[in-house]
A and B are shown apart, each in its own frame.
Chain A
Amino acid sequence: MEADFETRTDYDVEAVVGSTGKLYAQIVYGAPYDIFLAADRERPNRLIEEGQAVEGSRVTYALGRVILWGTDDPSVLATPDIKRIAIANPNLAPYGKAAEQVIANLNLTDTTETKLVLGENVGQAFAFVGTGNAQVGFVSEAQIAIRDDAEPKASWSPPSSFHDPIAQDAVLLARANGNPAAIAFMTYLQSDAARDIITQHGYDLP
Chain B
Amino acid sequence: MPDLSSLWLTLRLALVTTFVLLLIGTPLAWWLAQTRSRFKPVIEALIALPLVLPPTVLGFYLLIAMSPNAPFGGFWLQATGDTLSFSFTGLVIGSVIYSFPFMIQPLQAAFEGPVQQAMRTAASLRASRWDSFFTIAVPMSVRGFVTAIVLSFAHTLGEFGVVLMVGGNIPDRTRVASIEIYENVETLNYADAHALSLILLIISFLTLFCVFLFNRRFPAHVRL
Contact = CB atoms under 8 A, between A and B. Distances in A.
Interface residues of A, number: 19
A83 B183 contact: no
A26 interface: no
A89 B169 contact: yes
Interface string B58-71: 00000110111110
Interface stretch (A31-39, A68-76, A128-136, A164-172): A128-136
Nearest to B164: A120
B183 A89 contact: yes
Nearest to B168: A117
Interface in B54-112: 63-64, 66-70, 73, 82-83, 85-86
Contacts of A84: 83, 86, 168
A133 B164 CA distance: 14
Interface residues of B, number: 22
Given A131-B63, A133-B66, A118 B186 contact: no
Contact of A83 (B82, B169, B186): B82
B190 to A, nearest CB: 14
B186 A21 contact: yes
B170 interface: yes
A132 B183 CA distance: 25
B2 to A, nearest CB: 14
A156 B9 CA distance: 36
Interface string A65-90: 00000000000000000011010010
Interface string B148-183: 000000000000000011101110000000000011
Contacts of B135: none
A134 B83 CA distance: 9
A191 interface: no
Contacts of B63: 127-128, 131, 133
B139 to A, nearest CB: 45
Interface string B96-133: 00000000000000000000000000000000000000
A92 interface: yes
A133 B83 contact: yes
A118 B83 CA distance: 15
Nearest to A133: B85
B86 A133 contact: yes
A161 interface: no
Contacts of B168: 84, 86, 117-119, 128, 134
A160 interface: no
11 contacts: A83-B83, A84-B83, A84-B168, A91-B186, A118-B169, A118-B170, A119-B168, A120-B164, A120-B182, A133-B67, A133-B85
Given A86-B168, A119-B169, 7 more contacts: A84-B168, A91-B186, A119-B168, A120-B164, A128-B63, A132-B67, A132-B70
